[in-house]
Structure 1
Amino acid sequence: MARMDLRPLGVAVDELLGEAVRDENAAHMAVLDGALAEKLAVVQAGWGQKYADRVHQKGKLTTWERIDLLKDAGSAVRPFGSLVNWGRAFKGSRRLAPGAGVVTAFVRVCDRWTIVIANDNTIASGAWWPKTPEKIQRAQELAQRLRLPVIYLVDCSGLFLPEQANSFSGRTGAGFIFKRNALLSAEGVPQIAGVFGDCIAGGGYMPIISDRVYMTEQAYMVIAGAALIKGAKSQALTSLDIGGPEVHVGQSGCADVRVPDDPTCIAAIRREIERLPTTAVAFYRHGQRPTPPRLPPAELPQLFPVNHRHTYDVREVIARLVDGSLFHEVLPHTGQEIIVGVARVQGLWVGILANNQAPTDHPTQPGAKRAGGILYRDGIAKLAAFSRACDADGLTMIWLQDIGGFDIGVEAEARGLLGYGSSLIYTNSTNQTPMFTVLLRKASGAGYYAMAGHPYDPVLQLSTPITRQAVMEGRTLAIATYNSKLDDNFEIATQDPAERAEIEQGMTETAARIEADMDPVASASRMDTDEIVPVAELRAWLEVVVEAAYQSIGYRRVKNPRIWALHDLEALSPRVRDVVDARAVPAALTAVLDPDEQLLAPTVGTWRPALAEGALVGEGTLLGTIERVGEPLRVLAPEGVHGVATELRAGPAPVQRGERLLALDEPAAGAGAAVQRAAAGRSEGLLGLRAPMSGTVWRSPAPNDPPFVRPGDTVERRATIGLLEVMKTFMPLLAPEHCVLERWAVEDGGAVDADQPIAWLRPISDILDEP
């Protein structure tokens, strides 16, 4: 029987990062989470206790009190669109409109997930503000795509008239809500409405198209309220006289049931939900029980670096999101900048698609590395193939996005990156299986689109407090804007002081504006993302949306795991793995030892040394690389060699076969053990910290900051010693063990080649062993 073997993923956080780094990351995230919590508290409070008291004086409950009665006891409410309109002022109002005056949320009712749409009656009596219609429509869209029951808790005084031009007309104006009502009804999605108070003008259509309509004794639904009728027809009537429950339940038939008060209405709505078919989640679990991750989600804040340019291991993130921290990676040997595979969330199968931030093996240059967080050809093809397979199998997809963009340059274009990108765009545009996208951190340029960003219709897109969503970084965009004023090094070209000052100010203001636009709160306010979620709560959110995706049965394809299309990819992957492994093993040549104790080049090419003058050389020591036709070959010391490197050939430089690379001197007395350590990558008894790929070495977090460590400092295991910059991405250089930084091998800001020593470390164990 075909099956997917899930394997343990991830390690304890203290094995990944030093304590100081973990604490710094967690403290930074705690500040951001606290600021987010303060904003969400403002939204939930509406216009405050004064207005809540007014609602109570009318014998009614507030919106959140109604939701609390509606939900299953002990279950969490998951609002989305909470920060719509955050910070936005409106004509005719001295107050803001938190959450656009409406609550939209996933709410569990009678063990079924529902979408609740509830007017906030503490904000201008539940009026519709600009973006209120769009927020309601977004919730209706979610319900339609997941076939979730919709519950309307209506208490709405109509459009906020001073801003009616921004909410009445247009393709997504208020009237489109009622079309959504009709589409939901046409597709058989249950809609249940409770009317608790005002329901004026077009708002009356929202409950009337619902399958069940309940009205309390204080509720009314009217095309025109009493004040308008008095002005138009000089009739002194109340709104209850015009369209109260006596009219619509007893006469017009526009509502179904009359109830005395809010609690009775909520209880009736719960009974209606209980009559609906039960959830199919247990059926689709195939006998599996929901299991929490083995590695706690609470550790997630410790994993994300303070600086958004620094890298992290996305596999460790996945391990803290999926059941049991178990994962089956698909096609792991190709397109390594992308991680795809299957796992379970709440016992339900999901496909995971994630950007890998770590440097990865270059597919055509053995031994070379390239930056992560970028889309290259093989990774794009891998995403498209896996996404198509998940769609064919009905496997809910979770996209974990942290993307800097697409690869660029002559090689990228020649390898057909545009064509492969188009294939991925087509795949994600035509998928029928639910996709959920999490913007973990960067969401940049066309990479944001390719990784199932909002324009490609994920059912829900979540951001985190560290999400940065924009075409490009602020500084980069400022350079692009003022490119004609800059030289080849992107420095201001003019020597005129006044013009320089003007350009500097313009670039600074442009960069600052873009940085502000990238703030996830600004994105949420514009509805460019659905909700901002603390990273520690991502697992809880995924439990909700994955269960919601499997709740209804019969409306979409969900295949038995035995006949997944993914097995076809698995059947091909061993052959792919063998080919890739054979190609990816870095080729190595042995230098030639001549009678004069010189080591000679074994082939022709471009020589790059990997050690310094005076370094100890032993059998198997990496001397450097010789690049031949774009392929770097490692050059190792031959058998029986023991000595000190002298007359080292500088590089990069052309070299012919048989030319001298270096000479060997006799080591000092007692250096035999040191020579052995040199073969293991050590020098003078020191452990060499080597560059995993070519880049620029930085010793401090930022230009004006103190260095991470100084020579002579003791460094704990997995602590950050420096940074390696590759394509504007910074990879922390971590101490491999508890040690002392003896000296740097590369200047601050200096270029380094792959496998070249960056720093020399003395292990604490060696110090303790000294007499």
Structure 2
Amino acid sequence: MTVLTSRIDPSSAEHAENRKVMLDRIAEIETEHAKAVAGGGEKYVDRHRSRGKLLARERIELLLDEGSPFLELSSLAGWGSDYTVGASIVTGIGVVSGVECVIVANDPTVRGGASNPWTLKKSHRAGEIAEQNRMPMISLVESGGADLPSQKEIFIPGGRTFRDLTRLSAAGVPTIALVFGNSTAGGAYIPGMSDHVVMVRERSKVFLGGPPLVKAATGEESDDESLGGARMHAEQSGLADHLAEDEHDALRIGRRIVARLNHRKAGGGPALPQAAEPLYPAEELAGVMPPDLKVPVDPREVIARVVDGSEFDEFKPAYGEGLVTGWATLHGYPVGVLANDQGVLFSEEAQKATQFIQLANRSDTPLVFLHNTTGYMVGADYEQGGIIKHGSMMINAVSNSTVPHFSVLIGASYGAGHYGMCGRAYDPRFLFAWPSARSSVMGPKQLAEVLSIVARQSAEKKGQPYDEDQDAAVREMVENQIESESLPLFLSGRVYDDGVIDPRDTRTVLGLCLSFAHNAPVEGTDAFGVFRM
């Protein structure tokens, strides 16, 4: 393999300024993540603890193998909305009894763990990850069901949660529910549709309707225990498979269930068990991206600090130079890398990517996409040269490729370039963003300028005078709006990614995701759509 040589000077003033801006952005993300960790706030956390209960993240920590990592997902869900950051649920992937599992834990300190629209988006994403990567799914349940004031937004899509559980089971992906408290109304179907169910004596309450609702609907007088208590479900209804004495016992039983699943990773382990660390420290990634995304960045500088031994065999290095493609290993797993050189994608880059994606599928090699592009090139010469059909070839290849895809937005990811580089709509196994990332239909300045040109032409056609002051005000307003809507916090809050990560963690995060993906078969395809030549 070819060993990459870095041209970055970590002691330079430029690198120091880039690093300062990046660390400030990381601190901003961490402040928002702290809100999710805080849950419903001190008052409700104290109330929860006074009842002798563990917090959601404490339950997860005790469930996981000691010292093993937990990759939290969608932690900023709901940011910028009327709901608590984190959306009253914690999702992520961790190792339980030696098995990589998707974990979904209700946070009962936030409105009793009730589900709001962002809770659904976050839990649906966790279900997708479990299905695509064939990882057991463990639900740590304590929820009052739907957040009723928002029922119009959650009732219809909420049914997908139960459908996903049954489809996972049908596909042979184990589903496990550990019930720690109330699991009412729609929440009752989580244990009802899971393969394995554990309930806690005198704590778990599972019923479609609580005593007040039952009395209102039927006139029947009942109490929590007889209507839906753990002992009743263990001894009479049969809904509970295991009756735990307390929360710690429930987590112990959950670990034993996973240990008995006889789970095997269909995709196998890394090809190189002893992977070499990159030659350049990950710490330097904090200073790679300039604050101004219009400044070009050689993506090889990122690759050199992520892949094993900084070794990278480049594919077509002299053709389509705005897109770097090549082969490497990452934590011992073979990967193909596609990384933008900040600028636009021309026909050459699109054709190069198309061939490279086909080759990766022939060799069953996962693909890593590092986004930093303003999109496909426009203009008469490029339209006449076939940019539409060549861009379509690349999008066709990405759409139909069946090897695992992993996307990281490190800089700009605008327009159809976002699609061609396997954006969220193209089902990458995982998609993360750096705090420096921006993503929208086009750059803020370009979008504002387009609207200005259209408005000006419209006025000319009507023979009306054009108000230059109003035009400047509208352009500024639009530019500010698009800038705010392209930020990682905004996009992550809408679950358009799986999280905003510290650039220095990129190698670790991708290594974990590669391991997760290998729970499922890693197989390419030669069945692509018709390539328009």
C-alpha separation between the residues in 2 aligned to 1:405 and 1:282?
33
Q: Give the conservation status (yes or no) of the 8 Å contact 2:307–2:507.
A: yes
**Whole-Å separation in 1 of the counterparts to 2:455 and 2:81:** 35
The residue that corresponds to 1:433 in the other structure is: 403
Q: Which of 493, 506, 513 is the aligned partner of 1:538?
A: 506
Corresponding residue to 2:485 among 513, 517, 523: 517
Contact 1:396–1:549 (CA<8 Å) still a contact in 2? no
With over 3 angstroms needed to count, the CA separation of the structure-2 counterparts of 1:281 and 1:341, relative to structure 1, is: farther
Distance 1:556 1:21 in 2: 41
Which protein shows a greater Rg? 1
Q: Which of 145, 148, 169 is matched with 1:185 structurally? A: 169
Aligned to 2:304: 319
What CA distance in whole angstroms lies between the structure 1 residues aligned with 2:38 and 2:495? 21
1:352–1:399 contact (8 Å) kept in structure 2: yes
- 1:49 equivalenced with 2:33 (yes/no): no
Deviations 1:357-386 (A, max 9, x none): 3xxxxxxxxxxxxxxx21111211111111
Instruction: Report the CA distance between 1:551 and its aligned residue.
Output: 3.1
Deviates more, 1:342-351 or 1:20-29: 342-351
CA distance in structure 2 between the partners assigned to 1:153 and 1:420 by the alignment? 47
| Matching of residue 269 in structure 1 with residue 254 in structure 2 | yes
Q: Out of 28, 32, 35, which is 2:28 matched to?
A: 35
- 1:103 pairs with 2:71: no
Q: Secondary structure at the match of 1:21?
A: helix
Q: SS of 1:406's equivalent?
A: coil
- Counterpart Cα distance in 1 of 2:282 and 2:487: 24
Instruction: Tell me the equivalent position of 1:136.
Output: 123
**Structure 1 residue 482: Cα displacement:** 1.9
Identical positions, percent: 32
Change (3 A) 1:86 1:390: same
Q: Is the 8 A contact 2:404 2:522 kept in 1?
A: no
2:356 alignment partner AA: F
Out of 365, 370, 389, the residue aligned to residue 419 of structure 1 is 389
1:176-215 to structure 2, matched below 5 A, reads 176-215=160-199
Contact kept? 1:478, 1:510, Cα under 8 Å: yes
How far is the alpha carbon of 1:278 from its aligned partner?
5.5
Q: Judge which range, 409-418 or 119-128, deviates more.
A: 409-418
Correspondent of 1:26 among 12, 16, 19: 19
222 and 502 in structure 1: CA distance in 2 versus 1, 3 angstrom threshold: same
1:672-720 CA distances to partner (integer Å, 9 max, x unpaired)?
xxxxxxxxxxxxxxxxxxxxxxxxxxxxxxxxxxxxxxxxxxxxxxxxx
1:245 and 1:436, CA in 2 relative to 1: closer, same or farther beyond 3 A?
Answer: same
Contact 1:47 1:123 in 2 (8 A): yes
Q: How many Å apart are 1:221 and its aligned residue?
A: 1.4
2: CA distance, partners of 1:501 / 1:205: 58
The partner residue of 1:549 within 511, 517, 522 is 517
* Contact 2:89 2:119 (8 Å CA) reproduced: yes
Distance 1:142 1:351, change over 3 A: same
Q: What is the correspondence of 1:155-170 to structure 2 with a 5 Å cutoff?
A: 155-169=142-156
Amino acid at match of 1:500: E
Report the 3-state secondary structure (helix = DSSP H, G, I; strand = E; otherwise coil) of the residue aligned with 1:427: helix
Shift of 1:392: 2.9
CA distance in 1, matches of 2:7, 2:263: 39
After TM superposition, the structure 1 stretch with the greater mean CA deviation from structure 2, 456-465 or 229-238, is 229-238
Query: Which consecutive unaligned segments of at least 5 residues does structure 2 have?
Result: 458-462, 527-533
Which amino acid is 2:72 matched to? P
Q: CA deviation at 1:55?
A: 1.5
The structural deviation recorded for 1:282 is: 10
Paired letter, 1:439: L
Specify the code of the residue in structure 1 equivalent to 2:57. Answer: W
The within-5 A match list for 1:553-632 is 555-557=521-523
Q: Aligned in 2, Cα 1:102/1:22: closer, same or farther, shift over 3 Å? A: same
8 Å contact from structure 1 (residues 97, 129) kept in 2: no
Amino acid in structure 2 at the alignment position of 1:192: I
1:299 matched residue in structure 2: 284
Which residue of the partner structure matches residue 9 of structure 1? Answer: 4
Listed as ranges, the matches of 1:161-560 within 5 Å are 161-169=148-156, 173-217=157-201, 218-277=203-262, 280=265, 283-357=268-342, 373-486=343-456, 499-552=467-520, 555-557=521-523
| Counterpart Cα distance in 1 of 2:439 and 2:514 | 24
Per-residue CA shift, 1:297-338, capped at 9, x if unaligned? 111011111211111111010011111211111222322211
Q: Give 1:82 deviation, angstroms.
A: 1.0
Shift of residue 27, structure 1, vs aligned partner: 0.6
Per-residue displacement from partner, 1:377-435 (whole Å, max 9, x unpaired)? 12111111111222232211111011111112222122211112222222211122211
Q: Secondary structure at the match of 2:370?
A: strand
Counting only pairs closer than 5 Å after superposition, residues 648-667 of structure 1 correspond to structure 2 as none
Kindly provide the amino acid, as one letter, of the partner of residue 497 in structure 2: T
Which residue in 2 is equivalent to 1:709? none
In 1: Cα distance, 2:122 partner to 2:267 partner = 31
**C-alpha distance in structure 1 between counterparts of 2:415 and 2:258, whole Å:** 43
Instruction: Give the whole-Å Cα distance in 2 for the aligned partners of 1:444 and 1:477.
Output: 11
Q: Which of the pair is proportionally richer in helix?
A: 2
Contact kept? 2:312, 2:328, Cα under 8 Å: yes
Structure 2 vs 1, CA of residues 55 and 70 (structure 1 numbering), >3 Å: closer, same or farther?
same
Contact 1:112 1:551 in 2 (8 A): no
SS in 1 for 2:190: helix
Letter in 2 for 1:38: T
* Amino acid paired to 2:408: V
Pair 243,485 (structure 1): closer, same or farther in 2 beyond 3 Å: closer
User: 1:700-745 CA deviation, whole Å, 9 max, x = no partner?
Assistant: xxxxxxxxxxxxxxxxxxxxxxxxxxxxxxxxxxxxxxxxxxxxxx
Query: Is the CA contact 2:267–2:518 (under 8 Å) kept in the aligned structure 1?
Result: no
- CA RMSD after TM alignment: 2.1
What is the SS of the residue equivalent to 2:356? helix
For each residue in 1:258-300, what CA deviation from the matched residue of structure 2 results, as whole angstroms up to 9, or x when unmatched?
1011111111111222223455499532353133222111110
> Which residue identity does 1:225 align to in structure 2?
G
CA distance in 1, matches of 2:53, 2:59: 9
- Aligned residues of 2:90 and 2:104 also touching (Cα < 8 A): yes
What amino acid does structure 2 have at the position aligned with 1:455? A
C-alpha distance in structure 2 between counterparts of 1:98 and 1:485, whole Å: 38
**What is the rounded CA distance, in whole Å, between the counterparts of 1:495 and 1:282 in structure 2?**
66
Please tell me whether the aligned partners of residues 281 and 547 of structure 1 are also in contact (alpha carbons under 8 angstroms). no
Assess if the C-alpha contact under 8 Å between 2:131 and 2:168 holds in 1. Answer: yes
Question: What whole-Å deviation, never above 9, does each CA across 1:153-193 have from its counterpart, x for those lacking one?
Answer: 00010101011111112xxx110111111111111011111
* Structure 1 residue 152, shift from structure 2 partner: 0.5
Q: Against the structure 1 CA distance between its residues 282 and 72, is the aligned structure 2 distance closer, same or farther, given a 3 Å change threshold? A: farther
Closer, same or farther in 2 for the Cα pair 1:20/1:279, shift >3 Å? farther
Matched, 1:71 2:64: yes
Distance 1:279 1:327, change over 3 A: farther
Note the C-alpha offset of 1:494: 9.2
Q: 1:485–1:494: 8 Å Cα contact kept in structure 2? A: no
Shift in CA distance, 112/324, structure 1 to aligned 2, threshold 3 Å: farther
* Greater fraction of residues in strand: 1
Correspondence for 2:52 among 59, 81, 85: 59
Q: Compared with structure 1, are the counterparts of its residues 108 and 12 closer, same or farther at alpha carbon in structure 2 (3 Å cutoff)?
A: farther
What SS is found at the alignment partner of 1:83?
coil
Counterpart of 2:110 in structure 1 is 123
Contact 1:111 1:279 in 2 (8 A): no
Q: Is the 8 A contact 2:205 2:225 kept in 1?
A: yes
In structure 2, the CA distance between the partners of 1:111 and 1:13, relative to structure 1 (3 Å rule), is farther
